Structures are given as structure tokens and as C-alpha cells.
């Protein structure tokens, strides 16, 4: 009911409502339910990636834009905060300056990319964004005097956020607020136009909508939210570098989360990110325990060796796509 009131969206399935409620409650009380530093790190990463995946789903799921530059905006947010807090006096002014500078740069880049590239066909736009993202990653690695190069930047954060509990609830609260804002966007008349563009761009143009304008705005909104996600992740880690924000493997992870949760469903970002991040962090440990328990059995200990966790993660992804072609959220709604 609360989500319906704030966003105008409906779950469409009791099972979906229960799953989302369980995830939100687990994240809200993670510091008390799951003791230990690693569990809190996983919960914070889930919060950040829910926001990052939702911002990408605004492009891919709602507008039909295939972009490989999303990690670039994620990295801009992280580097904006890191550079400001490492070069200015540590405090809220430096944090605000770094965040605003990152948002301004992301807005300018996303506007230019949208303005010049969204007029071309989808595959060419995807290649352009891939080239831009690769260039930015190389630039971040080469400008070691500014970005720390391959080593990245470690920095201090404002005193109020130094306790892990305070930092976690900043990440959780900001991610929740921004996610609800995205829900409001996709359930507004603007969001309906984006869906119509995804389904039939020519018909949307015939109805009088300037599709390039709408797609450019969607591109800018997705970039800004991804930038804020990067800033939150940097604040949590107190570090940023090419491997944590700009690596192309992160882009692949985002795509997998969108597909697992369900494209064109903001709720899919919550489920997809939660499943993927938890599996990414705990599947290897679970396989190690299973392999040790199967000692003496032929082949099985080697089959479930923890070094093969990526193989089983791939198997889980293939099975989820096969049995849930519309994603988990789409399948739950279809069953209802």
C-alpha cells in the first residue's frame, strides 16, 4: 500500500509483494539481523546495485535503449566524491561539491551522447556507448595524478558517517528514496510515453511525440541516478578505483540482474540485484562446504569445487532465463 501510494504502481502478485517486503525488511534491519562486517558489506552492495540496476532498466526495459556506458556514470559518481574528499578539507561541503560536480559532468555527457547518438540504430548506439565507456576507463587509469591510476583513491569521509551503521543507513535511505522516485517516473505520463516508444517508435512519432527528446531525457535521468549510486558506493567503501566502478564486468553483471529480475519492471531490479549479489558473495562459500561434505564420492567433490562457482552461477542464470523468460517479476505476475 505504501509503495502504491508513493509511486502509483501495483505489485500485481501476492508472492511478489511478500518477496519484496522480505528483501526490504532484511535490508532495513541488516545490521541487527546479519552480524558481521561481510554481511553488512553485502547488504550495502545490494542497496547500491538495486539503484544502479533500476536506473539501467529505465533505459533498457522502459525505453529500449541498449547502452554500455552506464558504468561510466557509476564511476563518475565514485570519482567525483573521492577526488573532492581527498583534495579538499574533509566535510559536508567537499562531499556536496564532489557530488554536484559529478552530476554536472554526467548530465553533460549523457546529454551529448543522447543528442548525437540516439538518432542512429540501436546496435550503432550500443557500440558508441561502449567506445565512450572504454575511453573513460582508460582515461581514469592514465590520469594517475588526479584519479590515482590503477590503484584508485582512498579517502576519509565526514565524521558523522565514519561509524559503519551511520554510513549504511545513509546508503539504504538514499537508495530507497531514489528508487521510489524512479517508480514515480515510470508510472507517470512520461513513463507511459517511454513504453510506447519501446513498443513502437514509429507509432509514437505519428502521435506527435518527439522520440529523440524523450529518449535523451531518459538517458540523462538514468545517468544521474547511476552517478548517485556510484557516489554512495564510494562513500561506503571509502575508496574508488577502475575495478570497483568502471570495469566492463560490472556492466555485464547489471545486464544479468536486469534479465533475472525482469526487464521493464522496477521491482525486478530489487529481486535481480538481491539474488545476484548474494550468490556472487556466498555461492563460493556454500560450494566449499558442499564439496567437503561430499568427500569420498566420485566426481562430485570436484564438480562442486569452490573454484567452479562461476560455472554454477552461469548455470543458475541459464536456468532462470529458461524457466523465467520474462524475469522473475514478469513470471510471478503472469502466474497470477
Tell me the per-residue pLDDT of 198-255, one tens digit each, with 9 for 90 and over. Answer: 888 888 888 888 888 888 899 999 999 999 999 999 999 999 999 999 999 899 899 9
Q: Is residue 140 part of a domain?
A: yes
Read off φ and ψ for residue 69, nearest 5 degrees: -100, 10
- Residue position matching grid coordinates 517479476: 329
Q: Is residue 229 part of a domain?
A: yes
Q: Is residue 311 part of a domain?
A: no
pTM, entire model: 0.92
With a cut of 70, say whether residue 9 has pLDDT above it.
no
Q: Which of these, 297, 231, 260, lies nearest to 84 by C-alpha position?
A: 231
Q: Is residue 191 part of a domain?
A: yes
Q: Is residue 336 part of a domain?
A: no
At 109 the pLDDT is 94
Number of domains in the chain: 1
At 284 the pLDDT is 78
Q: Is residue 10 part of a domain?
A: yes
**How many other CB atoms sit within 10 Å of the CB of residue 66?**
15
With a cut of 60, say whether residue 2 has pLDDT above it.
no
Integer CA distances (angstroms), 4 to 56, 59, 184, 208, in order: 22, 22, 10, 30
With a cut of 70, say whether residue 76 has pLDDT above it.
yes
Integer CA distances (angstroms), 7 to 10, 11, 188, 246, in order: 9, 11, 9, 31
Q: Is residue 147 part of a domain?
A: yes
Q: Is residue 63 part of a domain?
A: yes
Range of the domain at 99: 2-248
Q: Which residues contact 59 (CB under 8 A, 6 or more apart)?
A: 65, 66, 67, 70, 218, 219, 222
| CB distance 111 to 104 below 8 Å | no
Amino acid at each position: 500500500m505504501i509503495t502504491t501510494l508513493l509511486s502509483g504502481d501495483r505489485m500485481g502478485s501476492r508472492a511478489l509483494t511478500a518477496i519484496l517486503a522480505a528483501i526490504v525488511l532484511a535490508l532495513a534491519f541488516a545490521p541487527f539481523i546479519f552480524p558481521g562486517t561481510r554481511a553488512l558489506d553485502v547488504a550495502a552492495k545490494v542497496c547500491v546495485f538495486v539503484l544502479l540496476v533500476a536506473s539501467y532498466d529505465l533505459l533498457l526495459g522502459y525505453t529500449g535503449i541498449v547502452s554500455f556506458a552506464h558504468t561510466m556514470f557509476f564511476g563518475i559518481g565514485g570519482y567525483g566524491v573521492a577526488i573532492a574528499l581527498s583534495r579538499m578539507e574533509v566535510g559536508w561541503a567537499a562531499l556536496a561539491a564532489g557530488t554536484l560536480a559529478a552530476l554536472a559532468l554526467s548530465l553533460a555527457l549523457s546529454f551529448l551522447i543522447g543528442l548525437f547518438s540516439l538518432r542512429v540504430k540501436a546496435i550503432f548506439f550500443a557500440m558508441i556507448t561502449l567506445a565512450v565507456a572504454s575511453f573513460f576507463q582508460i582515461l581514469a587509469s592514465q590520469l594517475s595524478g588526479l584519479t590515482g591510476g590503477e590503484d584508485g583513491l582512498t579517502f576519509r569521509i565526514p565524521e558523522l558517517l565514519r561509524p559503519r551503521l551511520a554510513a549504511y543507513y545513509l546508503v539504504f535511505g538514499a537508495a530507497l528514496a531514489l528508487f521510489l522516485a524512479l517508480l514515480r517516473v515510470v508510472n507517470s505520463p512520461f513513463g507511459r510515453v517511454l513504453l510506447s516508444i519501446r513498443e513502437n517508435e514509429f507509432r509514437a512519432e505519428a502521435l506527435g511525440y518527439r522520440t529523440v527528446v524523450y529518449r535523451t531525457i531518459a538517458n540523462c535521468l538514468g545517468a544521474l541516478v547511476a552517478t548517485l549510486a556510484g557516489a554512495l558506493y564510494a562513500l561506503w567503501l571509502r575508496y574508488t578505483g577502475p575495478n570497483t566502478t568502471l570495469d566492463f564486468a560490472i556492466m555485464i553483471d547489471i545486464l544479468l540482474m536486469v534479465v533475472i529480475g525482469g526487464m521493464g519492471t522496477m521491482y525486478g531490479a530489487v529481486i535481480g540485484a538481491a539474488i545476484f549479489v548474494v550468490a556472487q558473495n556466498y555461492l563460493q562459500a556454500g560450494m566449499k562446504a558442499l564439496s567437503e561434505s561430499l568427500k569420498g564420492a566420485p566426481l562430485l567433490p570436484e564438480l562442486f569445487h569452490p573454484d567452479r562457482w562461476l560455472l554454477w552461477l552461469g548455470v543458475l542464470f541459464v536456468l532462470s532465463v529458461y524457466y523465467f523468460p520474462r524475469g522473475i517479476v514478469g513470471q510471478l505476475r503472469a502466474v497470477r
